[in-house]
Structure 1
């Protein structure tokens, strides 16, 4: 059935593309109109997206950008993209989360930025090599080395600390280095202050759990199959379940959980560094950040979070307009504004030490520095193969919810979930 759906989707897109190939969208005053899909809520750079789009529109004589926010993070964006594509419609520039890179590549028409530059902007032929390190470009390439898109949002998980709560709990000056430390400090915080010790982020993805599982010696995905139902994987989810049960860890909707930290009800928050701007501006307490914890005696692995920008525009005119917008976003001052507004690590060269970039900002803002330091430990965000991506990610979320909300048996629940995902993968070969 899935193969029939994908065939129908492909035929629909081809027919739609034929109908509209010479009909780019335009504004009343003749500008090429493109749509930019992103996942940036107000607490994660939404205001910066609006400012960058508004500034681009003011200075552009030929292109007008409409930004569209997609809730439910990258999974939600992919679901919306699937719905639009089935109706023969697509946006023009989209944020594609790293965990959906394979799913996007195998299921949606896109044009490599390299191809768009070659065909529509030959003067920019050296733009990519001049602005990106090869290692950074690689995470936005397919297995043949073609650029699917360009890196834009680069993040790693960090641990934010409420220093006021630590002081009240007698932990002043202490920094948790391991998850064993986090557990110990959480128990002390609960006993001494009656507040929660930690909230481990719970958005519509399993990025934080991958960081914990991989660092414990297991994998969410290995050899294109789910591989987390083993001793090391069980230990991670049992760790979280036990802390939720004894109320040393908070478990709730991600937005509410992070707001509880900002409101001063939680001692530690494990989440993306992209939250540092929002936390820094809104926390009423003394807050700091530190590198993500590891497991005692094991190698720490940090999954690269965030997204790439990909071009899904259909017509040549819209593709050229999409590239003009992307190129604008990658200007030093705009990457700098993006980092300041979100907390993401800059994806391009010559921004961190550039006077027009982040040179002064980094002197005053310490909370982003742990993320920059730990980029040497970066591993890819686990990506399930082709057609199973959305469904597999949802099964991981359901598994997390059953374990943390319903107190489901950890080993049985994880084994059933892994078997279900791998059966789906096998059936889609």
Structure 2
């Protein structure tokens, strides 16, 4: 299922007909009906006055509601002519996507600023539901070059900027230093999963926790975090447009994960939130977003350690994906609202405010010039997340560009890790599903 088109070319080719993506059939909201990205031109805002009131839709990523309120208060003091209404649009990125879809269909009630995750925002770009920000960033003097390159470039498609980084993260390896000490283990994250497999029995023998390691809920972000395992085994969900989840290496990676639960019996699967389980001492280690860092440090009654993600038998570096969300502006609102929205997005991304948001959540400081001295003095673990950013890897096409694929990956992982399904069978079924999505919903747009 190979198709020689890279990511940027793919989205540059997206036409008005891309609105026919059958997202609902793949577990996500139907985002059809837009004008199409190729017809969304830069607008002229030179004679526009910003709206007096705008809505900001968010799911408060990383439990950020308090700091979001703080940022809004700061913004309104600096911009007394603009009121920002903080709207809880759901508890997850998927909730926001559904609410945004409903507002698009009704052609009313749209926000001015909306949080869009890594696997949802490009769908709205394809359908013309969000505007390019280039004219606004130029008019407002936004220093785009001061944003961290790997984060801001995630939203550059078709030669334009479609969102700005906001709650950006990588997974981190979290470990309980007290448990490691009790088990006689070194005070560091394991370099590979094989090394951790040697450590896990020692943690179990020490009787320090219910599980040596806790996987996250499979219905959550298994498609995101398990890229680490697949990449470590020398494969992935896909390579470019080739779906590779049924390869021998992919099956071996997922078999290893299943064995950690059923044969080794040292790993568990969280029913709610693995970061909360870890902070409660239920598990000695876990993989969780950097956005969970501050909450874990606050709630844990033990000394928390963090490290880079472990590698595998074939790759020990560049096995960590980026993720999270950016801030976008809908196309179906007035220029006055769009200008006010861009003014707010600029403010949120200013270096001082980027540092403030990072300090409150543990997410990446999205600006290069953000002064993290005070933040790191209080939370030195954030430096590990910043350092790991240099060895992150672009996510697999299959996860971020195939509509609904993330949910399908989660379902497959759940069958393997919570129902002990046959790994080879489940991964072959997943390939069939992903290839079907590609053939029906993506490939026709590439050849249009």
Residue 162 of structure 2 corresponds to which residue in structure 1? 148
Deviation at 1:4, TM superposition (A): 8.7
Matched length: 402
Matches of 1:243 and 1:34 in 2, distance apart?
A: 49
| Pairs within 5 Å for 1:159-178 | 159-173=173-187, 175-178=189-192
Alignment match of 1:380 (pick from 384, 394, 397): 394
Residue 354 of structure 1 corresponds to which residue in structure 2? none
What SS does the corresponding residue of 2:156 show, helix, strand or coil? Answer: coil
Deviation at 1:91, TM superposition (A): 1.9
- CA RMSD in angstroms, aligned pairs only: 3.0
Paired residues of 2:258 and 2:417 also in contact (CA < 8 A)? yes
- List alignment gaps of at least 5 residues for structure 1: 14-29, 352-356
Aligned pair in 2 of structure 1 residues 4, 398: CA closer, same or farther (>3 Å)?
A: closer
Matches of 1:134 and 1:49 in 2, distance apart?
A: 24
Alignment match of 1:392 (pick from 405, 424, 430): 405
What SS does the corresponding residue of 1:204 show, helix, strand or coil? Answer: helix
Deviation at 1:34, TM superposition (A): 1.8
Question: Which range moves more in the overlay, 242-251 or 98-107?
Answer: 98-107
Q: Does 1:322 align with 2:336?
A: no
What SS does the corresponding residue of 1:266 show, helix, strand or coil? Answer: coil
Residue 226 of structure 1 corresponds to which residue in structure 2? 243
Residue 198 of structure 1 corresponds to which residue in structure 2? 213
| Pairs within 5 Å for 1:183-194 | 183-193=197-207
What SS does the corresponding residue of 2:120 show, helix, strand or coil? Answer: helix
Q: Does 1:273 align with 2:293?
A: no
Residue 109 of structure 1 corresponds to which residue in structure 2? 129
Matches of 1:79 and 1:220 in 2, distance apart?
A: 25
Q: Does 1:139 align with 2:157?
A: no
Residue 226 of structure 2 corresponds to which residue in structure 1? 209
Paired residues of 1:99 and 1:381 also in contact (CA < 8 A)? no
Deviations 1:130-178 (A, max 9, x none): 5325554322111x32111112233221111111111222225354111
Residue 293 of structure 1 corresponds to which residue in structure 2? 310
Aligned pair in 2 of structure 1 residues 227, 83: CA closer, same or farther (>3 Å)?
A: farther
Tell me the TM-score normalized by structure 1.
Answer: 0.85
Deviation at 1:72, TM superposition (A): 5.7
Deviation at 1:386, TM superposition (A): 9.1
Residue 357 of structure 2 corresponds to which residue in structure 1? 338
Alignment match of 1:304 (pick from 322, 325, 332): 322
| Pairs within 5 Å for 1:68-107 | 68-71=87-90, 73-89=92-108, 90-107=110-127
Residue 370 of structure 1 corresponds to which residue in structure 2? 384
Aligned pair in 2 of structure 1 residues 281, 212: CA closer, same or farther (>3 Å)?
A: same
Paired residues of 2:255 and 2:423 also in contact (CA < 8 A)? yes
Deviation at 1:84, TM superposition (A): 2.2
Deviation at 1:383, TM superposition (A): 4.4
Paired residues of 1:291 and 1:374 also in contact (CA < 8 A)? yes
Deviation at 1:362, TM superposition (A): 1.6
Paired residues of 2:402 and 2:438 also in contact (CA < 8 A)? yes
Paired residues of 1:98 and 1:383 also in contact (CA < 8 A)? no
Residue 33 of structure 2 corresponds to which residue in structure 1? 10
Paired residues of 2:189 and 2:308 also in contact (CA < 8 A)? no
Residue 416 of structure 1 corresponds to which residue in structure 2? 429
Matches of 1:167 and 1:5 in 2, distance apart?
A: 51
Aligned pair in 2 of structure 1 residues 315, 221: CA closer, same or farther (>3 Å)?
A: farther
Paired residues of 1:99 and 1:383 also in contact (CA < 8 A)? no
Alignment match of 1:242 (pick from 251, 259, 272): 259
Paired residues of 1:225 and 1:425 also in contact (CA < 8 A)? no
Deviation at 1:46, TM superposition (A): 3.0
Q: Does 1:180 align with 2:188?
A: no
Alignment match of 2:172 (pick from 146, 158, 163): 158
- List alignment gaps of at least 5 residues for structure 2: 1-17, 24-29, 37-49
Tell me the TM-score normalized by structure 2.
Answer: 0.81
Aligned pair in 2 of structure 1 residues 298, 12: CA closer, same or farther (>3 Å)?
A: closer
What SS does the corresponding residue of 1:95 show, helix, strand or coil? Answer: strand
Paired residues of 1:34 and 1:91 also in contact (CA < 8 A)? yes
Deviations 1:311-347 (A, max 9, x none): 1151101001101111110122211110001111211
